[in-house]
Amino acid sequence: MGNRVIVLFIASLVAANLVAHHAVNSDDIDYSTRISLEGKIANIEWINPHVIIHIEVLSEFGVKQLWLVEAATPNTLLRSGLNRNSLSLMSSVSFEAYPSIINPCTVTCLSYGISITTASGRTSPLGDL
């Protein structure tokens, strides 16, 4: 009985970790819609399994919205030429992304990044789709 409890506990931890590692669940992304976002980088989480870039975007009404853009793995971005020093906080960027279909942008808007263009005009892929 004791071994079963331990096995079930470990299995639940593994399952929870697999589900929780995405900021945006792939079932919740609208792949039929591409959006363009322009703003300033507020935060960058250069972590496995996905790089997360937070940007402040001015809405059509002039209100700041925080967008979370999930990118591919750090390794994938490194292979495309992006590294920790490529992007800096408060720098202006623009993104092509797929929006989340479940988040109404009440606090943070969610998306999966396709590409990023820096202020210098350099465009790099963000996803492996």
Is position 59 within any domain? yes
Query: What CATH number has the domain bearing residue 103?
Result: 2.40.50.140
- 127: number of Cβ within 10 Å: 19
Helix, strand and coil percent figures for the chain, each rounded to 5: 20, 40, 40
Question: In the chain, how many domains are there?
Answer: 1
Task: List pLDDT tens digits, range 42-90.
Answer: 999 999 899 999 999 998 889 899 999 999 999 999 998 899 899 999 9
CA distance 106 to 80: 33
Mean pLDDT value across residues 94-121: 89
Structural domain boundaries enclosing 85: 24-125
Instruction: Specify if 5 maps to a domain.
Output: no
Q: Checking DSSP bridges between strand 108-118 and strand 64-70, what pairing results, if any?
A: parallel
Read off the pLDDT band of 106 (50, 70, 90): confident
